[in-house]
Structure formats: C-alpha cells, structure tokens
Structure 1
Amino acid sequence: MIGRAARLATGAGAVLVLAACAGSPKSVATLPKDGYLSAGVLSDMAAAIPAPPTPGSPQDAADKAASARYAALEDGDRWLLATSHAEVRPPLALQHFDCALGVRLGSAETPVLDRMMGRLFHDAASVAEQVKARQMRTRPVADDPQRRACQTLDAAARRSGSYPSGGAAVGVAYGEAFATLEPDRAEAVRRIGHQIGISRLVCAMHYPSDVAAGEAIGRQVAGRAVADPAFQADRAAARAELAAARRTGLTNPGCAAERAALATVLP
C-alpha cells in the first residue's frame, strides 16, 4: 500500500545522497481528501488496468530475474537515491524535482503547489489501490524474505500488494504536472518522475511490470487532471510560487550527488 509504505520510509534519505535536498524544514502536509477527478472516473481508470502477470508465466519469470539483478545496486549511490525517493507525499516529495526545476523548493511558501500535488497524489494513489484490491501480487521483498528493502518495513507492509506501483504512479503524475507548469523543463521533470518509479525497483518493492502499470496510471491521471478547470485555476498561482522560489536564487546543493546517482548503469 502506497500510504503505508510511505509512512514507513526511513528518514535516512534526507541525510544520504541528497543530504542537501531539503530546503527549509517541512513536515508532510495533511493530504487533501479529494483529488481533481471524480470517483467514477477513477474507478473507470482502475478497471482498464490489466491484471498483473500470471504467476509462473514468462513475464512473471522475466520480472523476477530483472528484480534479482537490481540487488547489485544495494548500498551504492543509486540505492541511496532510491531511499530518498521512498517518500512520495507532498510537500517533501516535491523536492525530488529541485534539480530538474533549478530551484530549491522550501525556499519559498508553496501552498497552492503543495495542494495541487496532494490532489494528484490522491487520484493516482486511489487508482493504484483499487487495482491492488482486485488482485494480489506479492512484492520482491516478500517473495524473497532475505531481500533487503531500502526503507523500513513492518511485516504487513512487506506483504502488501506490489501491482501496480503506487509510487511510480504518483511520481509520473508529479512529473507531468510539473511539465505543464514549466514546459521549458518538461524533459527534465518527466525524467525524475520516471526515476521515482525506477527507485521502487532498486528498493525491491516492485517488479518492472508493476512500475510500468503504475506509470501508465500516472500519465492517465495527470492527462485528465490538467484539463480539469480546478487544476487550471490552480496553475497560475502554482507557477507564481515556483517563480518566487526561483527568485530566492537558492538551488539544491545536492544536485551533484543526484547527477552521480542517476549516472549509475542499471542492471
């Protein structure tokens, strides 16, 4: 479950690879109770997501083989970045996009941006959880009890559903929203949205098929949300908040570490 896994993420990510990624100290905000999309739209999206690979199928075997290769990244730079990416709730998760945006989120107040991304979190996570409730697929860390996760897990979180990846869904939704807010940086922010999903593979929390399905959810949610009048009403204020953060002249001193981690060759 995305909510449970996020709550159990270690705080170590803030002091590891991206030690300087935190701007002014911010706690996780109270997430909005509603997103941009109606319950019916979210249910229709969930119904359109295909089932996970059948256990023992060639796709399932390929997923497991790919996941096993990611174990080689444990304790390296990419592993530490994945530990940071385990936090996917705004406003803290928005700082994953600092380097791509060329700002230091936290250097200015961003209540509209935080609320906007919180509403996207609600919608993307809702679709992912509905799909998970339909058919259970176990996580890599449950299939292999000896496998290490890059976040703190209790037994229930270890056994929670793997398909689709809620973290990947949320990461891509954030990336698409930032691309709308800052079109000149669209490629860079979409890359980070995708890398948040890759981090779930590095963390042994999901298989490749789980991440691919999650990213599809994130794109669909963002595509519908950005056309919603409520999102469009928020957009001008969110852009102004980003501009205010940019005017502080502060950038994230952890960006060199992020570049090094993202340069890691994936298995």
Structure 2
Amino acid sequence: MKTGARLGLVGVLGLMAACATSQKQVVTMPSEGVLADAALARLAQAAPPPPVVGSPQDQADKAASARYVALEDGDRWLLATSHAEVRPPLALQHFDCALGVRLGSAETPALDRMMGRIFHDANSVAERVKARQSRPRPIADDPQRRPCQVVSTAGRNSGSYPSGSAAVGAAYGEAFAVLEPDRAQAVRRIGHQIGVSRLVCAMHYPSDVAAGEAIGQAVARDAAVTPAFQADVAAARAELAAARRSGLTNPGCVAERDALATVLP
C-alpha cells in the first residue's frame, strides 16, 4: 500500500463532505423521475433472476467475493467507502476527476435535478426486481465479514440482487456521457467503479453488480430521450462549463488514480 496515496484519499473524503455541506445546498430527493411507471415496470420485468443457490454461478460469486477480503483497509477500500454515498449532490463529486472539474465550485441546480431523477428511476427499477426474490448479501451469508460502511441490521439482511448502487452509478455514467461526450469513456469508467466498490464493500456479489449495471444503462438510455431529461441538458452543460471555468479541480485525483490502479483479486 502507498501510504501517501492512502492519506491523500482519507483527506479527499473529508474535502468532499465539506464541499457538499458548505458550497452546495442539500437537495431534496425527487419523489419521481422522468420515466413513467409502465416504463419502470417494463425494465424491471426484463431483468433476469439471480443465480440459483448452489449453482455454478452462485458458487463463483461467493468465491470471488471472498477474495475481496484482501482489499480491506487499503486504498481501494477507502474509495469504496466514499462510493457508498450514491445520492446527489454529494455522489456527483465521484465524477470530479473524470470530468476535470470540482463540482461544488459552482451552483448546479439543473444537474442536481437531472441526476436526482436518474437516481429515482434507476433505484426504483432495482427495488422492484429485489421485491421479486431475496438473495442474501455477502455480509449476511458471512456475519463475520466486514462491510466498508456502517450497516444496520435491516441493511445487512436486505436483498443483494440486483445492486441498486451499481444501477445508479452506471446510470450516472451514461447521463454524464450524454452531457460530456468527449469524456464518455472516463465517466462510464467511474460509473462502473461505483459498482465495483460494492464488491469491495462486501455488500454485493458480482452477479448483483452486473445486473445492476445493466438496469442503470437501460434506465439512462430510456431517460435520455424524454422531454424532462432533454430540457435539463443545456442548463446542466452550462453549469458544468461554469464549474470548469472556476479552474478548481478535486485535490484527491492523484489518490483516486492510485486507488483505481489497485489490482482486483
């Protein structure tokens, strides 16, 4: 482990929290997204079921999850701790380095509104799929397993499939790719890494994350053609441009780069 990178990452977590509370007002999460209920139901119905208990895929998931114990307390673990927050506006700062800005250096109500709606729809689809069947989380299958975040008893015993956080992360990545096509690869990578962080955190199995990412991508694809999303695009792009003109960037980008370079088990 690189001690300097680890200390830098610890620092950036604090900076992100301070930025969210001091430079941006807390946004009330939207009670609805941009997709109609019928569209959400259709996307949920299209999601496959989780692996059957004891099946080769289930066993492979559990073996892969067990290997992630090796990352506990390292740089990638600390980044996963940060990624556990997926609600805007704070979660949008996960994309600072990919975007080359410091979100929080300018007011971004249109961007926050757009991503709040994306959060609502991606999470809603994931929750509908979870309601069909229950798959225990890694930290429930193994009560001795450490999560990288504070988890209540109800949270520990809640459904693992699909990963709602992976769905939201992937949807954010796709939405940012629409806003900034030149940075599409970079923002999609971060959206994917938010899902990877759920493996590091022992909150989900690989199949859960893969299913969540597929949901997030489908939600973003359908949302992008709605009038509500398109109405926010121009304003959100202008807000990102204003943040870039501030000249401020996230001081934790070097630490993030080092953490993302961690070889996964």
Q: Deviations over 1:116-162 (max 9, x none)?
A: 00000000000000000000000000000000000001111000000
The equivalent position to 2:63 in structure 1, one of 65, 69, 76, is 65
1:74 aligned to 2:69? no
> Contact between 1:21 and 1:254, CA under 8 Å: does it hold in 2?
no
Q: Structure 1 pair 28/166, CA: closer, same or farther in 2 (3 Å)?
A: farther
Shift of 1:15: 4.4
Q: Structure 1 pair 69/16, CA: closer, same or farther in 2 (3 Å)?
A: farther
In structure 2, what is the Cα distance between the partners aligned to 1:264 and 1:111?
34
- Residues paired across the two proteins, number: 255
Query: TM-score w.r.t. structure 1 length?
Result: 0.93
Secondary structure at the residue paired with 2:194?
Answer: helix
The equivalent position to 2:94 in structure 1, one of 96, 114, 133, is 96
The equivalent position to 1:24 in structure 2, one of 19, 28, 34, is 19
In structure 2, what is the Cα distance between the partners aligned to 1:23 and 1:100?
20
Secondary structure at the residue paired with 1:134?
Answer: coil
In structure 2, what is the Cα distance between the partners aligned to 1:25 and 1:38?
30
Residue identity over aligned pairs, in percent, reads 77
Q: Deviations over 1:14-44 (max 9, x none)?
A: 9456443456333642101110100000001
Gapped regions of structure 1 (runs ≥ 5): 1-13
RMSD: 1.4
The equivalent position to 1:228 in structure 2, one of 226, 229, 239, is 226
> Contact between 2:16 and 2:90, CA under 8 Å: does it hold in 1?
no
Q: Structure 1 pair 23/252, CA: closer, same or farther in 2 (3 Å)?
A: farther
Question: Which residue matches 1:4?
Answer: none
Q: Structure 1 pair 17/110, CA: closer, same or farther in 2 (3 Å)?
A: closer
> Contact between 2:163 and 2:208, CA under 8 Å: does it hold in 1?
yes
> Contact between 2:11 and 2:252, CA under 8 Å: does it hold in 1?
no
Shift of 1:196: 0.1
> Contact between 1:18 and 1:258, CA under 8 Å: does it hold in 2?
no
Secondary structure at the residue paired with 1:82?
Answer: helix
Question: Which residue matches 1:190?
Answer: 188
Q: Which amino acid aligns with 1:211?
A: V
Query: TM-score w.r.t. structure 2 length?
Result: 0.94
1:165 aligned to 2:163? yes
Q: Which amino acid aligns with 2:140?
A: A
Q: Which amino acid aligns with 1:25?
A: A
Q: Structure 1 pair 28/139, CA: closer, same or farther in 2 (3 Å)?
A: farther
Secondary structure at the residue paired with 1:25?
Answer: helix
